[in-house]
Chains A and B, each alone.
Chain A
Amino acid sequence: MSPSLEVEGLRTEFGLRDRVLRVVDDVSFTVEPGQALAIVGESGSGKSVAMRSVMRLLPKTGRIAGGQARLGGTDLLALSERQMRKVRGRDIGMVFQNAMEALNPTLTLERQLTEHLKWHGICDHAEAKRRAVETLGDVGIPEPEKRIRTYPFQLSGGMRQRAMIAMAMVTQPSVLIADEPTTAVDVTVQRQLLDLLAELKARGTGIIMITHDLGVARYFCDDAMVMYAGRVVEHGPIRRLLSRPAHPYTTGLFESTLEVGARQRALLPIPGSPPDLAYRPTGCAFHPRCGRAEERCGREEQPLLPWPGHGEVDLLHAGAGPERNAERREVACWKAVEHG
Chain B
Amino acid sequence: MVDVTVEHDDARTGADGAGGYLITADGVDKVFSTRAGDVHAVRDVSLSVRHGETLGLVGESGSGKSTMARLMMGLMPPTSGTITFDGVDLSAVHGREMRRLRARMQMVFQNPYGSLLPHYSVSANVAEPLRLHKRGDKESRRKRAIELLTMVGVNPRFADHYPRQFSGGQQQRVAIARALALEPKLLMCDEPTSSLDVSIQAQVLALLDELRTSLGLTLVFISHNLAVVERFADRVAVMCLGQVVEIAPTEVLFDSPRHPYTQQLLAAVLPVTKDPLPAPATPWQPRAEVLPLREVAPGHFVREA
Contact = CB atoms under 8 A, between A and B. Distances in A.
Contacts of B203: 269
A260 B269 contact: yes
Given A184-B61, A187-B224, A260-B227, A215 B199 contact: no
Contacts of B227: 258-260, 262
A191 B203 CA distance: 27
B169 A218 contact: no
A154 B194 contact: no
A159 B60 CA distance: 11
A270 B199 contact: yes
Given A154-B36, A191-B270, 17 more contacts: A43-B196, A149-B35, A150-B34, A154-B34, A155-B62, A158-B62, A183-B195, A184-B191, A190-B270, A191-B268, A191-B281, A218-B272, A219-B270, A253-B199, A259-B272, A273-B169, A273-B200
A261 B251 CA distance: 10
A263 interface: yes
A267 interface: yes
B53 interface: no
Contact of A258 (B39, B225, B277): B225
Nearest to A190: B268
Contacts of A156: 61-62, 66
A199 to B, nearest CB: 13
B301 to A, nearest CB: 20
A188 B62 CA distance: 12
Contacts of A67: none
Nearest to A180: B195
B111 to A, nearest CB: 8
Contacts of A306: none
B221 to A, nearest CB: 14
A274 B169 CA distance: 11
B61 A185 contact: yes
Interface in A91-141: none
A154 B32 CA distance: 9
Given A256-B199, A261-B254, A269-B199, A187 B191 contact: no
B62 A44 contact: no
B265 A269 contact: no
B272 A214 contact: yes
B157 interface: no
Given A149-B36, A260-B226, A260-B254, A186 B168 contact: no
What 3 pairs between A and B have smallest CB-CB spacing? A158-B61, A215-B270, A258-B227
Interface of A: 42-44, 142, 146-147, 149-150, 154-159, 162, 183-191, 195, 212-216, 218-219, 242, 252-254, 256-263, 267, 269-270, 273-274
Contacts of A213: 270
Contacts, number: 138
11 contacts: A149-B35, A157-B61, A184-B224, A185-B224, A215-B269, A257-B272, A258-B227, A260-B227, A261-B254, A269-B206, A273-B169
A213 B197 CA distance: 9
B231 A263 contact: yes
B280 A195 contact: yes
Contacts of B269: 187, 215, 260
Contacts of A162: 61
B198 interface: yes
B62 A267 contact: no
A187 B62 contact: no
Given A157-B110, A186-B265, A263 B230 contact: yes
Contacts of A44: 167
Contacts of A273: 167, 169, 199-200
A259 B228 CA distance: 8
Nearest to B224: A186
Contacts of B224: 158, 183-187, 190
B202 interface: yes
Contacts of A158: 61-62, 224
Contacts of B202: 256, 258, 267, 269
A44 B231 CA distance: 27
Nearest to B64: A156
A23 to B, nearest CB: 14
Nearest to A162: B61
Interface in B248-305: 251, 254, 264-266, 268-274, 277, 280-281
A273 B227 CA distance: 22
Q: Which residue among A184, A186, A218 has the maximum number of chain B CB atoms within 10 Å of its CB?
A: A186
B58 interface: yes
B192 interface: no
B59 interface: yes
A43 B268 contact: no
Contacts of B17: none
B57 to A, nearest CB: 11
Contacts of B110: 157, 184
B59 A186 contact: yes
A183 B167 contact: no
B117 to A, nearest CB: 18
A145 to B, nearest CB: 9
Interface string B225-250: 11110110000000000000000000
B62 A43 contact: no
Contacts of B60: 186, 188-189
